[in-house]
Amino acid sequence: MSHGSTAPRGAAADNLEDLELFHGLAAPGLAVVRAAMHLDRYARDAVIFSQGERASRAYALAAGSVRIRQTGSDGGEAVVRFIGAGEMFGLVPLFTDHQLPADAVVAEDSSVLSWSEADLKRLIERFPRIAGNVIGVLGRRLGVLQERTRELTTLHAEQRIACAVLRLSAQVGRDTFEGRTIGFPLRRKDVAQLSGTTLHTASRTLAAWETAGLLTSRKGCLTIRNLEALRRVAADGRAALSDARLRAFTPGPCVR
């Protein structure tokens, strides 16, 4: 990992308006934000912060991807969220008990921006738009949490897996000639944990979908070849539970 006490200019430093926390800020405000910003570069598998540590900074991902991983009292680990470029993380504890509830682990080489707690709170006082953005970020994440809770209690495993893949596609997907690609390495274990199922079930289901032409996997990155068919799996439990129905889906272009 390399550190910079103040972030140099470059793509990460010049696109602050793309970060969800600073949407709508005018150029003079962004200049103030930039002056307080630090840039760190992390290699894959590096730990940005650890569960239980005291929170002292707010983070934003400029490039790459980060797993948010939580450890239970029994020692079991689970990925609870992926952070994509432009998203904030490590923010909530600064406004609560200052205890980080999870690890932030780099999934691929990444550039991470950060602000000290004191600087962030000064920025919020000076630019109320940031406070509104914080509320928006927290509201959206609460909505996702409620949605995942509903899925765990009402949907079959295959439906939950489809929902998890579709959610990642909406979060960080990009259109390619093959379909819609989730542009960071996604392990079968990650899919299982995000959908609340077993590794065996996640692996079996993804393999069946690949055979049926719904998606492909190359170098750990999933590409959805038929977005509408995957949406039908998420919505229709009967389709999700039948390999025969899966095979009946005709692979087609990615449709938003």
Q: Look at residues 107, 130, 151 and tell me which one is the last residue of a structural domain.
A: 151
Q: What does the pLDDT read at residue 176?
A: 87
Q: Look at residues 151, 173, 195 and tell me which one is the last residue of a structural domain.
A: 151
State whether 182 and 131 are in the same domain: no
Residues in contact with 191: Cβ distance below 8 Å, sequence separation at least 6, in sequence order: 161, 164, 165, 202, 206
State whether 115 and 145 are in the same domain: yes
> Per the domain annotation, does 255 fall within a domain?
no
Closest to 231 in 3D by CA, of 223, 239, 219: 239
pLDDT at 149 over 60: yes
DSSP E strands: which ranges in the chain? 2-4, 38-42, 47-49, 57-71, 77-83, 88-89, 103-116, 173-175, 180-182, 215-218, 221-224
Residue 242's pLDDT band (boundaries 50, 70, 90)? Answer: low
pLDDT at 10 over 60: no
Q: What does the pLDDT read at residue 185?
A: 82
State whether 164 and 243 are in the same domain: yes
Residues in contact with 177: Cβ distance below 8 Å, sequence separation at least 6, in sequence order: none
Mean pLDDT of the chain: 86
- How is the chain split among helix, strand and coil, in percent rounded to 5? 45, 25, 30
How many domains are there within the chain?
2
> Per the domain annotation, does 97 fall within a domain?
yes
Q: Which domain holds residue 239?
A: 156-248
> Per the domain annotation, does 100 fall within a domain?
yes
CB 221 within 8 A of CB 183: yes
State whether 127 and 187 are in the same domain: no
State whether 125 and 180 are in the same domain: no
Q: Look at residues 151, 182, 197 and tell me which one is the last residue of a structural domain.
A: 151
Quote the CA–CA distance of 187 and 99 in Å, as a whole number.
28
Please name the amino acid found at residue 44: R
* Minimum mean pLDDT range among 122-131, 185-194, 205-214, 229-238: 229-238
> Per the domain annotation, does 132 fall within a domain?
yes
> Per the domain annotation, does 229 fall within a domain?
yes
> Per the domain annotation, does 67 fall within a domain?
yes
Q: What does the pLDDT read at residue 174?
A: 87
pLDDT at 169 over 70: yes
Section 1-24 average pLDDT = 64
> Per the domain annotation, does 254 fall within a domain?
no
> Per the domain annotation, does 24 fall within a domain?
yes
pLDDT at 254 over 70: no
State whether 133 and 164 are in the same domain: no
